[in-house]
Amino acid sequence: MLIEASEVRQIPGEPRRRWFSDEYFDLIVWFAPEGSILGFQLCYDRDEQPRALTWLKGKGYKHDGIDEGDTPLHDSHKSAPVLVQDGVFDCSGIRSRFVQASLNLPLLIRMEVLKRIDEFRTP
């Protein structure tokens, strides 16, 4: 079940954001000053093959893998995670899992993410 982080760092000059997570998902949602949703990033399958679906108002969708920053030749060095091009988005599988995980999210957020998952089509 997605739970909201209590203290989310807000970056000056960037939209306000809220962060929700559970063992499978991370959901970051960005808001306009009046409270409408500007975009979100739904990260999923965090432990096996982490990927992210990003939607931004006016820019559309992006689906990426998440390179965790591990460097096999340097065990003591770990870089920051970065997004890398990834393949097919399992719309029905992710949607089904998100429906269950998002039951306690604010309705506006839950419905917006579900709407965008339904609209997304992998190029």
Taking CA atoms, 103 is separated from 2, 22, 36, 97, in Å, by 8, 12, 20, 11
Q: Which residues of 77-101 are buried (b: 16+ CB within 10 A; e: fewer)?
A: eeeeeebeebeebeeeebeeebeeb
pLDDT tens track for 24-38: 999 999 999 999 999
Percent of the chain, pLDDT > 90?
68
pLDDT tens track for 68-80: 555 455 555 455 5
pTM, two decimal places? 0.83
